[in-house]
Chains A and B, each alone.
Chain A
Amino acid sequence: MSIERRTFLKAIGVLGVGSLSGCNQAPTDKLHAYLTPPEDVIPGVAGFYATICRACPAGCGLWVKTREARPIKLEGNPRHPVSRGALCPRGQAFIQSLYGRHRIAEPLMRVQDRLQPVPWAEAVDALAGRLAKASSVTFLSGAESGSFETVRGDFLSRFPRSRALEYEPLGMTSQAAAASLLFGRSEVPWLDLRRTHYVLSLGADLLDAWISPVHLAAEWAERHSIQNQRALRLDYAGPRRNLTATAADRWIPLPPARMGALALALAHELFLRRRDSLAPEQADLLGKALARLGPRPAAPPLEEGLWKSVLGPLTEKPGAVILYGGAECRTAEATAVHAAVLLLNLLTGAIGSSLLFDAGYVYSKLHSEKKVADAIDAAAQGATDVLLVHGCNPAGTLPASLEIPSRLGKAATVVAMAYEHSETTAAADFVLPVHHPLESWGDYDVTRTICGLMQPVRAPLYKTRMAGDLLIELSRKTGKPLAHPDYKSYVTARWAAMAASQNSQEWEKMLIDGGRFAAPAPPSRPVELIDGGLDRLPAISLETASGAGCTLLAPMTALRFDGRSRTQDWLWEVPDPVLQTAWDLPVEIAADLARQHGIADGDLVSLKGRSGAVTGLAVVCPDLCAGTAALPFGGGSAPGPEENPNPDVLRLLPPVFDPLSGELALVATGIEAAKAGTGTLARTQASSYSDDRYLCLAMDLADAQAGRYPRMVRHGEIPASEAAADHGAAVPMPADDLNQRHPHDAVHELPDHPEHRWGMTVDLDRCTGCGACIVACYAENNVPVVGREEIIRRRDLAWLRIEKHIVRHGRGQQVRWLPVMCQHCTNAPCEIVCPAFATQHTPEGLNSQIYNRCVGTRYCANNCPYKVRRFNFFDYAREVPANEQLNPDVTVRPRGVMEKCSLCIQRIREVTNRAKAESRPVREGEILPACVQTCPTGALTFGDFRQESWRATRLAADPRGYRLLDYVVNTRPGIVYLRKVNTYPAPPGA
C-alpha cells in the first residue's frame, strides 16, 4: 500500500489531535498569581517577607516564604529577638488558618435571628447607623499593641462612653495584680533567662504553652546545654508530667493547691536567711507582706532531701528565678501565690536581673476574665450599645456556665470582627470578616523595645477588610473621620515617628527586619515594696480542702493552647507528645482514680461538675497527681475536627474567679468521674517501653563532666546495660567514618561520598518534644493529613515523629523524647530490597525516594528497622484553597507510592545549585531542613559530615553520640543522636 504525502500528513494531524484531546489537562488559568509579575517576583524563586505571628500574644517574628506571590510556609524571623528564627508548632501551622475552611468569606448580618450574607456596603451602613446613635461602646479584643491601639483609641474617642478591653485566656492578670499590691506596679515583668543559674517553676510550663514558649525554650536550651556546662538548671513542680516536666532537671509532683504553701515556705525561709542583708524598711515591709500571706509552716512542704536541694540553688547564688502561673495551676488564690512568688524573686534578686519591670510587656495590659464577663454582662443588660469583638473569642474561651453566647444574644449590638468562624461570630449580630494577619498591615510590640512590623504577604483571599480600615470607615460613615484615611497610614506614620531617620531606606530596612528591636533594659526606678496595698494581700490557704470528687485541671498544651488553633488540621494530625494521641483530646485520669472507677485507656469517661458534664476518651496517666483528672483546652465542636468532637473543658469549669484580679480559676474541685462506656483512642505510638533495645539513651552529668563516656559496642554484640549501649559515632569524624569498613563488609560494597555526606545530629539533651519540627515537615513537604480513622489504622504519613520513651531510672521512671526521621543509612536495608531502584543512595549520602519509579511493593517499609517509611494508601484530598499552600518544589505523591523524609532535598538542591552558579563551596548554615529551621532549642543540626569544621560534624564526633540500632542492624545511619544528660543521678533503688 502506498500513501501519499498529503494523506500521511492528514492522518498524522488527525491522530495527533486525537491523542492530545485525550489528555485531561488541568485548568492552568490560576497557576500563577500574576499575568505580568512585579520585577521582584521571579517564578521558581521564593521570596521571604517579615511579619509577626499572631497565633498567641508572644509575638514571634515570622519570615513568610512565598512562591509566585503565594505564601507557602512560615519560618521564624532570625532577627526577631523573641523567636530568633524558630517557631512553635502552632506558629508553623498558623498558615493553615489563612487557607482554612473556616475562613469567613463575606459579611454576615443578623436578619430575623439568622446570620445572612450581605454586601459590605449594607453591613457597614447598617452598623454605622447603629454606631451613630450609640453612646456607650465597648471594644473587646485580644492582646493588641502599636498602631491598632491608636486607631482603636481614635475610634472609641468619638463616643461619649467607651472602653477597650484586651483579653487572652492565658493572661497573667493575677501576677499584675500581685505586683500592683506589692510594688505599686500593675505589670507583668519581662522574663529573661540569660542571667540566672536556676529556675524553679511552680506550674509555669515555660517550655510548653506558657507566655512565650519559643523564646523561653531557646534561652533555656542555650544555657542549660551541656556545651554551656548546665549554666542554668530547671526544676519543675507541677501536677502533670508535661513537656516542661520532662525537660526539667527534676520534676516534683505537686498538686496546684499546695503550690501556695511551697512558695510561702520558701519565701519565709529565704526571708529568715536574707533579712539582715535587706534595708531595714524593706525588711519590715517584707515581713509584713509575708505575715499577711501566711505563717511559716512548721515543717517544710517537701521531703527533707528535696527541700534542701531546692533551697540550695535558691540561696547559694543570687538571681534564682521562681515562676508561677501555668494554666494547670491557676487556682482562685493565684494572686496570693503570685505575691509569694514575687517576694521570693525579690529575695533571690531575680527582680531587676531576670524579671524586668517597666519593660512594657504586652501581657501587662490584659484584662481579666471577670472584667470581660462583666463587660459582656453589661452589654446584655443594655448598658452598652455596641460591643465590638476583635481577635478574641469570649464565647469559646470562657466557661459555659457564664452563658456568654446567650448574653451576647441579649446585647443590643454585637459586632464580631474575625477571620474565622467561632462561637462568638455565631452569636454576633454583625460578622465583619477581616483580613487574616498574614494579609494585613500592622504592628505588634511585645515590649516597649521589641516592636514587630506586619506586612501583608498576599492579596486577600476573600472579600475581607483590614480591621483598622474597618474602624476608619465606620467612623467616617458616622461622620467623625479619624486622623488617617486608611490603616496603613496609621502604621507608616507610627513607624516614621519611631525611625531614626526619615528616608525611605529606613522604612524598608524595618520592613525587611520585621521591626525594630532592642533588649528590654532594667527599670530606671528600682522595684521596691511599698506600703500601699500590703494590707489587701490575702492569706494563702495552707490546708488542702478534701471534698468529694476529684480535682480537674485545664492545662494548655503546645498544640492545643486555648483552642484557638483547632481549625488547623496539622495540629490535630500531629500527636500530642505526652499522650501520643492524634485528633483525640483525651481526659487524663490519675492512676488512683482509674483504679477506683475501673477506667482503662480508651474507655469513655464522663466528668460531672456543678456547672456541667462532658464525656471523653480516657487515658490513664500514672504521672498525674493523685485524685486528679486533666482535660486540656481546645475541645468543643465548633469549629474543630468534624469527625470527632472532643470534650470541652469549658463546660466543666465553674465561674470561679480570683477575688483580687478577677482571673478565672482553671482548677476545679468536686468533679465526679465515672466510666461511661468504651471507645477507641487514635494513638500514633504503640509502646513507650524499649529498655532492652537501647533506642533512647542517656548518661549522667557527672560522668560527662568527668569524661567517663560509655564503651563502644561492636556490631552484633548485645549490650548489657545502657552505659554500654553505643556504637559507631565515637569513630573520629569526618574521615568519612560512614565509610569505615566492618569485618562484615567483605560481602557488600558501601557507597562512597566523594563530595558531601549530608547528615544530621539530634541532641536529645535539648529536645523538649514540642513537635514544631513535625508541623514544619508537614508544611514543607506537602505531607497529607489522613484523619482520625486512618491514624487508628496506623496509616499516618508523618515523615518525622517524636517518640516518647519511658525508661527505668532508679526507682522512678524517666520520660525521654526521641525524634525519628529517615536515618539516611549508608548501608540501607530499604535500598537493597526495592526491585525497581525506586530508593537509592545518592553520592551525597542521602537515601532518596524516586516517586515515579515506585511500584508500591512496600518491601522497603517492611525492611526499614526504623519504620520511617510511609505509604500512600489512598489519594488524599487537598481542599481548595488549602492547595495553594503546597510547596511547588516538592512532588505531591499519588496513591500507591512510598514516601519518607528526604532531609528536605529540595532545600539542599537549591543551595548547592546556587553555590555552583556562584562558583563557591556551600557555606555552613546555608542549608536548613524545615525541622532544623524551626527547632526552638537547636536540638537538630544539619551538616555535611565531609566538612571537618562544621558544627554538625563536630557534634557527631561528640562522645555522647550514638546511632540508632546500628549495633544490631549495621545500617550506618547519617543521623547521629547525642545522649540526653541527666543532671542528677538516678534515685537509688531497683
Chain B
Amino acid sequence: MSTHPSNDENLGRFTYAEVDRDILATLGTPGKGYLALLLLCLGLVALGAFSWTYLVLKGIGVTGLNNAVGWGSLITNFVFWVGIGHAGTLISAILYLLRASWRTAIFRAAEAATIFAVATAGLFPLIHIGRLWVAFYLMPYPNGRQLWPNFRSPLVWDVLAVSTYLTVSAIFFFVGLIPDIAAVRDRQKPGPVKWILSIASLGWMGTMLQWKHYMAAYVLFAGLATPLVISVHSVVSWDFAMSVIPGWHTTIFAPYFVAGAILSGLAMVITILVPLRKVFRIEHIIRPFHFESMAKLLLFTSLIVGYAYATEFFIAWYSGNPFETSVFVYRPTGDHAVAFWTMVVCNAVIPLLIFRSRIRKSLGALFVISLFVNLGMWFERFNIIVTSLGHAYMPSRWGSYTMSLTEWGIMLGSFGWFFLLFLSFIRLLPAVSIAEMKEAMPAPAKGATS
C-alpha cells in the first residue's frame, strides 16, 4: 500500500479504543444546538412541502416560468444537487482505487452527502413537470399498450443515469458501513435498536474470512461506482447538449459538467465538514491536511471549469454562427449578467486563491471559498439554462425569467431536506469510518488493542 509520506503523522496517534470512543461519541445524546438545527431544517422542509403542494394544486404558473423560458430554478436545483452528489463517490471510490489514503477520515461523510444530494435532486424532475400525477409515464414499466418511454429522449437517459447512480452509491455506502454498524451494535444494550443493527450489520463478526470477502466486494463496488461518477453528470449535461438551442448544443458539456460537479461536490463537503469536526470535536481525526488535499482537487477542477468557460466563448466567436454569438453576448451583458459574473468570479477566480499555501491551510478561508463555489455553481446552472432558453432562435420570442416566491420556498425546502437527512445521519451512524481509520493506523497503535 502506497501511502502519503507523512501519512502516519497526519492521521495522528490513537488507540483503537480512542477511535471507537471519539467517533461513536457523535451518536450520543444530542445537544441543544443540534436540536435547533434539526428544527430549522424541519421548518424548511415544511415550507418546501407547502410550496410544492401549492404548485401541484395551481399549476406551473405559480413559478416564474413562461413560454420563452420553460426551465428555471427547478432544473437549476436539480443539476445543482446532482452536482453536489459527485464528491462523495469520487472520494470514496476513485480515491480508494487510487489508494489516496487521506480519504479515510472524510469519505463517509462525503458519501452520505452524495446520497442525500442525489435523493434531493431526484425530487426536482417530479416538482417541475406539469402533471405530477402521470410522472410514471417516464419510467419503463410493462403495460398493456406496450408503450415505453422514448429512449431517444435525454430525459429518459437522465432518469436511468440518476437512478442507477443513486442505487450504486447507496449500495456502496451501505457496504462500507457494515463493519461500523457492527461496532455500534456491539455497544448497544439488548433491545430493539440492537436487533435492527444486528440485521443491518448482516451478522458481521470481523472474522478473517469476512474481511477477505468484504474487501473484495468493496473493490468491486468501487470499480462499479467509478464510471458512474463520470457518466451521471455527462448524461445530465446531455439534457442540454442534445438539444438544438444555442448555448446548449455543444460538445464540451460532458467534461465541463463533470468537472463542475466535482468542484461543487468538493465545495459542499468542505462546507459541511468544517463545522462538523468542530461541533463533534473530531478535529484530531479530520485534520487540516485532509482539507488541504480537497482544496487542491477543488482548485484543479476550478481550473478545468474556468477553461471551459473560456472555450465556450472562443467557439461562439470562432464559429461565426450569429445565433451562438448572440447568446454569448447576451450572457455577460443581458438580463442575467449578474448570474453570469457571479458564476465566473465564484467558480473561476476566487478558487485561484488556493494557490497560496497559507489560504490552502486555513480552514476558515477554505470554508468561505467553498461557500462562494457553492453559490457560483448554482448560478452556473441558472446561467446555462435561463440565458440560453431566453435568447434562442426567434428574437420575437426572447424572454426573461425571475424566480417566484413558490420557487424560493421549494429551493429552501430542498436545502432543509438535504441537511435534515444529513443531520439525522450523523446522529444515527458513524460519520467517520471506524474500520478504515483503524486499518490506516500505524502499527504501534494497532498493538494497543481494546
Contact = CB atoms under 8 A, between A and B. Distances in A.
Interface of A: 685-690, 692-693, 695, 718, 790, 793-796, 801, 803-804, 820, 829, 832-837, 853-859, 861-863, 865-867, 869-875, 894-898, 965, 968-969
Nearest to B148: A837
A867 B396 CA distance: 9
B188 interface: no
27 contacts: A686-B68, A686-B395, A690-B395, A692-B322, A693-B322, A693-B323, A829-B243, A833-B154, A833-B243, A835-B138, A836-B138, A855-B134, A855-B135, A855-B137, A856-B131, A857-B125, A857-B128, A859-B153, A859-B243, A865-B392, A867-B392, A867-B393, A867-B394, A874-B61, A875-B59, A895-B61, A896-B130
A896 B129 contact: yes
Summarize A's interface: helix, strand, loop or mixed: loop
Interface in B148-169: 149-150, 152-156, 159
B322 A855 contact: no
Given A859-B155, A898-B130, 15 more contacts: A686-B398, A833-B153, A836-B150, A855-B137, A856-B131, A858-B65, A858-B128, A859-B70, A859-B239, A862-B71, A865-B393, A873-B65, A895-B60, A896-B60, A896-B130
Contact of A829 (B61, B137, B244, B396): B244
B321 interface: yes
Interface residues of B, number: 47
Interface of B: 58-61, 64-68, 70-71, 125, 128-131, 134-135, 137-138, 147, 149-150, 152-156, 159, 239, 242-245, 320-323, 389, 392-399
Q: Pick from A687, A796, A862 the residue with the most CB of B within 10 Å.
A: A862
Contacts, number: 162
B130 A895 contact: yes
A519 to B, nearest CB: 41
Contacts of A968: 321, 323, 393
A835 B149 CA distance: 6
Contacts of B154: 833
Q: Pick from B65, B320, B393 the residue with the most CB of A within 10 Å.
A: B393
B59 A855 contact: no
Contact of A866 (B129, B131, B389, B394): B394
Contact of B130 (A690, A829, A833, A854): A854
Contact of B66 (A692, A793, A835, A896): A793
Nearest to B66: A794
Contacts of B242: 832-833
Nearest to A794: B66
Contacts of A854: 130-131
Given A686-B399, A689-B395, A871-B130, A861 B70 contact: yes
Q: Which 7 A-B pairs have the closest CB atoms?
A: A856-B130, A896-B130, A873-B61, A858-B70, A867-B397, A687-B395, A896-B131
B155 to A, nearest CB: 4
A832 to B, nearest CB: 5
Given A835-B153, A870-B67, A855 B130 contact: yes
Nearest to A852: B134
B48 to A, nearest CB: 20
Contacts of A858: 60, 65, 70-71, 128, 130
Nearest to B150: A837
Contacts of B147: 837
Contacts of B64: 793
Contacts of B397: 685-686, 867
Given A856-B129, A859-B153, A820 B245 contact: no
B381 to A, nearest CB: 14
Nearest to A869: B67
Contacts of B399: 686, 794
Nearest to A719: B322
Contact of A832 (B128, B131, B152, B159): B152
B394 A820 contact: yes
B153 A832 contact: yes
Contacts of A875: 59
A497 to B, nearest CB: 55
A857 B129 contact: yes
A795 B242 CA distance: 26
A835 B130 contact: no
A689 B326 CA distance: 13
Contacts of A695: 394
Contacts of A853: 137
B244 A855 contact: no
A874 B323 CA distance: 32
B59 A897 contact: no
B131 A897 contact: yes
Contacts of A896: 59-60, 129-131
